[in-house]
Structure 1
Amino acid sequence: MERILPNHKRWARIKRNRYIYLMMSAGIIYFFLFKFIPVWGLLLSFQDYSPFKGFLGSSWVGFKHFSDLFQSGQFYIMARNTFVISILNLVFFFPLPILLALMLNEVRHELFKKVNQSIVYLPHFLSWVILVSLTFFVFSSDIGIVNKLIVASGNQPVLFLSEPKFFWILLTLQNIWKDAGWGTIIFLAAIAGVDPARYEAAVIDGASRFRQIWHITLPAIRPTIIILLILRFGNMADVGFEQVLLMMNPLVSSVADVFDTYSYTQGIVGGKISVGIAVGMFKGVVGLVMVVTANKIVKKLGYEGIY
């Protein structure tokens, strides 16, 4: 049982660590204002909410919006698109920051390493508007660089942006280019915490660089990989609203309509605020179930989970 400190000792400890608490205050205030207080708004999903009537004046409808969502003909399409995009990101995007971090860690020339890190980090700071614009200039059928090369080789242009079969591939490639470098930060920090004596012992035993990575580096960062993998499962129902909305067009709507875009069209464009909130709440429940399930599977496999 934790020992309860007297008030004067508690305040003395707070005074001694005041600068640490001051640094924490910005994050605490942010989560309180933008994460904790808005939770009450989930109650609107059980109402037929009208901004003109307000919270107290709007009628309660129970689970009507959830029932309408599940019975909607679009639900299967949205669920399929959302989870296929998430699975593609999980399979093709998630391992790349690990591989890139291992490669950067092997670079011994410090200046070359820092330059490469800056280059791979840079796309993360570009907005999706800029990135989608770059995608248009590369893959569009009339002015795209790729199609100009295809036409120059004597073939017909390929409709990358209006063919449904290319949509999921383009989204995955965009995510890889934008965030693969940024994702290496956590893994590089984990690699930096590995005891150098273990590498020295491996060198004495005659282990190659690949053997050192396989038997020392990867096992050392395994807990970090597992935690991030579990958290990735928690975001399975969230595929990035801005990216999908900017890439959408009527010709690819069958593979582009996801829960986020449905929430936007119903809640913001259509004025059905309660429907939009109900979709968001459903996504949150799915994320919670996925995290709990993934954590239990990880523990059954003998690894340490997130709780």
Structure 2
Amino acid sequence: MMKVLVLAVTLALSAGVAIAQVEGPRQTDALVGVSAKGDQIPAISDIRIKVNGKEEKLTGWSQVPASGVQVAILIDEGLRQSIGTELNSLQAFTKELPEGAQIYVGYMRNGTVFTAQSFTTDHGAAAASFRLPLGSPGISGSPYFCLSEFVKHWPADGSRPGARFVLMVTNGVDPYNGSTSILNQDSPYVEAAIRDAQRAGVAVSSIYFGNAGFRGERASFSGQSYLTQVADGTGGHALYQGTGNPVSLAPLLSEFRKTISETYVASFVISGSDKKLQRVQAETSLHKVKLSAPQSVRPGNLEGISAE
């Protein structure tokens, strides 16, 4: 009986140590976008990181290397067929990404993402994988279900670690949250997608493009509102021109490429369970410099940067 009791106590103490290790101080990374007017390049001394309102010391601040990124382009299968005139823009964008950048192309359908091209540094192969979406109303299910599924199971086959970026081309409407009314813009599915992306350390940007099944200003407003929420929550950017489809995707894709090149990795040490997100703010003392960062981070999340 005594041996059993001693064993039980030993196991309990071991479990307690394991829990303490998980919840103790942990190196944590966050992607921070820098938009500067002029040639200002922020140094580590120009940046402040606050976690749950408390300033934390930065242990690292480095620009993401051009060849150290993973870019996943997710296209809504429900887009209008007019997106076909923009396939050349998507192909050109893919080919113009820096050598060594890993590119993934997938199509959002029925709540998941179907791979057209797994992560590859062969930009020509990635460009060749673009096709017309099916154009069936509602076929994507919800772009936010698709996003959650994708970031929680980030493809690893054929890829190496890198700073993670997603570009969604979608109308952004959440058909499972009911009305697209301005009074109904709090979707639990959008919030879940934001949290999942934050846990994975993924910056999610988007280009608004109309869907075959949703038309009108209310749908445009609702979709753009949700896409902005996702971008703000993850440190990405919502890219659109007014409430209609963009005249051309080319300038928006160019802007997205620029945001990747202006992204830094901020490193700091925080405590807490890796199961619970921590609120984070990125600030700078530089004038005419704007930062974009996720609103929450997962303790222990590391941006695996490779410059090979």
**For this structure pair, what is the TM-score category when the shorter chain's length is used for normalisation?**
under 0.3
Higher relative contact order (CA 8 A, sep 6+): 2
Query: Greater CA radius of gyration, 1 or 2?
Result: 1
Report the structure, 1 or 2, having the larger helix content: 1
